[in-house]
Structure 1
Amino acid sequence: MNKTDATRMSNAMITRPAPSAVLEVLHPITWFPPMWAFACGVVSSGVPISARWPEVIAGIVLCGPLLVASSQVVNDWFDRDVDAINEPNRPIPSGRIPGRWGLYLSYLWTGASLLLASQLGVWVFGAAALGLVLAWMYSMPPFRLKQNGWLGNGACAITYEGFAWFTGAAVMLGGLPPWWIVTLALLYSAGAHGIMTLNDFKSIEGDIKTGVGSLPVKLGVDNAARVACAVMAIPQVIVIALLLGWDRPIQAAIVGLVLAVQLGLMVRFLRAPVERATWFSGLGVALYVMGMMASAVAVSPFGPSA
């Protein structure tokens, strides 16, 4: 018996998952983007963090370790058959999370997310509930939004960026955020659709085999790369125009600068999209989120602390 067979036999004997396997299926590395967007929402509210720090901590836990973690375990559960072929060492197909434990964890994390959200106000609860509906629809048959690059990436973008930003502001304000905060959240959500498309370039071959209609599959590599760049850039141009209209020239200049650097990276990315998608994602996203925070700072004086 070789080592692989011995490992599979050992995993087959597991009746409940180890904490390490549970943590792995929750994918902690994916928690940062919504937690950052939540922080942007907090800053944009204009309310001092010291005034509502318990709610801030609860909101960070909600957006990252609960809501995004819920979406991750739901996705891993409904992708278990595909992962058994492509990534058999993942917790669910490997048997380290045995039986229907993946589904039970999906229910548990969804319920915990809703419970915490219910303690943070009706608007936070509504955003969390809608985000969870989209998370389940993204992965669960017959919806499987992930099979359509427009719909699936849109669902991820609005939940990871827009809802998280909205939640941060709603937690601080104790109600519906004003239109300028909602506008920024929506614009940066739109731009995040392009970021999500960048992730699709590394799985084109697998997407074709499994019938996933990612944008690189639907539009072709070169066209999808152009769309991703345009979708990232156009909302940032609108943000710059808004900041100038709101008499925030310094923050407008910051967003303009990070966009200019992104445009330079885009030129190099477009020459070899498949090979450079991961490279561009790493650098471009870092610049993108810097602009998000600059925009949040720009509107914070509009809030109650002004």
Structure 2
Amino acid sequence: MTAGETIRGLAELTRPVNVLAASVLTFIGAFVAGGVTTETPATVAAVAATGLAVGAGNAINDYFDREIDRINQPGRAIPRGAVSPRGALAFSLVLFVAAVALALRLPRPAIAIAGINLVALVAYTEFFKGLPGLGNALVAYLVGSTFLFGAAAVGEIGPAVVLCALAAIATLTREIIKDVEDVEGDREEGLNTLPIAIGERRALYVAAGLLAIGVLASPLPYVLGHFELAYLLAVIPANAIMIVAAYESFEDPTAGQSHLKYGTFLAALAFIVGRAALELEFGWI
């Protein structure tokens, strides 16, 4: 392998799209908390720490998952030989150290969240991934907590708690559907994921039920007075996409979980719209 191929492999280990997405979610958490303009250095540090930590977590996940990926994802960096397992592990440690260095610049609640999340990222693949539902729940928490981390970095968690819960529900739904997609490789590796434990169809029904709870709960930020009507109008298309995606997953789990991701990002956008409308109404921006 050439140096260029190795560099490309290292970048792939981080899942750049996931890194960008998680960084954006942290930014949204800070924005919803109203601290982007007043606490800009903290916001930047939180966003960068999130990106580095997610990249590190994805790299170490590929390190632990290298045998499974030879079946499920043979084109990934380690199975195809672009990066050695030892190189992936060292790379993830460097990213983790950089993430910790940035997180330590933030307020104590944000540091606490970062510490919990870093431990969870390392423990996920080795201890939780093969446990029915628990691995999915941990990933769901990690995604939802990015909003809390961004809000805690600027000192105000408030509305981000609801956003965290809704994002976690949507992510848990998607993770279950992804496990249905990966049943063959997971069974070959001896993992006991939820679809393997209770059956693929039942797992999809669990995912659909969770999503229904999230959709029904999505008006809460408006009901609780955190946001104005603009949020409610913006979240409707996101809910519609996620409902269609859940239905689609019964026939095509790959397409269903992919479209569910789009719906989740639209829901996050609804929170931006809700916060922006609130600030415009009260003349904060």
Q: Please, what TM-score do these two structures have when normalized by structure 2? A: 0.85
Q: Which residue of 2 aligns with 1:6?
A: none
Map 1:1-306 to 2 at 5 A.
Answer: 18-47=6-35, 49-64=36-51, 66-84=52-70, 87-98=73-84, 100-140=86-126, 143=127, 145-160=128-143, 162-171=144-153, 173=154, 175=155, 177-178=157-158, 180-246=159-225, 248-270=228-250, 272=251, 276-298=252-274, 301=278, 305=284
AA matched with 2:161: V
- Within 1, Cα distance between the matches of 2:100 and 2:268? 27
Question: Is the Cα–Cα contact under 8 Å of residues 19 and 54 in structure 2 kept in the other structure?
Answer: yes
Question: Is the Cα–Cα contact under 8 Å of residues 45 and 304 in structure 1 kept in the other structure?
Answer: no
**What is the identity percentage for the equivalent residue pairs of Structure 1 and Structure 2?**
23
Instruction: From the CA coordinates, give the structure whose radius of gyration is larger.
Output: 1
AA matched with 1:169: A
Question: Is the Cα–Cα contact under 8 Å of residues 70 and 109 in structure 1 kept in the other structure?
Answer: yes
Q: Please, what TM-score do these two structures have when normalized by structure 1? A: 0.80
The one-character-per-residue Cα deviations of 1:185-243 (angstroms, maximum 9, x if unpaired) are: 12321221001122222211111111222222222222111211221231231131441
- Within 2, Cα distance between the matches of 1:277 and 1:235? 19
- Within 2, Cα distance between the matches of 1:212 and 1:205? 10
Aligned length: 281
Change (3 A) 1:116 1:304: farther
Change (3 A) 1:89 1:284: closer
Please report how far the alpha carbon of residue 84 of structure 1 lies from its aligned counterpart in structure 2 after TM superposition.
4.4
Return 5+ residue gaps in structure 2 as ranges. none
Change (3 A) 1:118 1:230: same
Change (3 A) 1:80 1:291: closer
- Within 1, Cα distance between the matches of 2:201 and 2:97? 42
Please report how far the alpha carbon of residue 294 of structure 1 lies from its aligned counterpart in structure 2 after TM superposition.
1.5
Question: Is the Cα–Cα contact under 8 Å of residues 123 and 176 in structure 1 kept in the other structure?
Answer: no
AA matched with 2:165: L
- Within 1, Cα distance between the matches of 2:134 and 2:124? 8
AA matched with 1:216: P
Question: Is the Cα–Cα contact under 8 Å of residues 149 and 197 in structure 1 kept in the other structure?
Answer: no
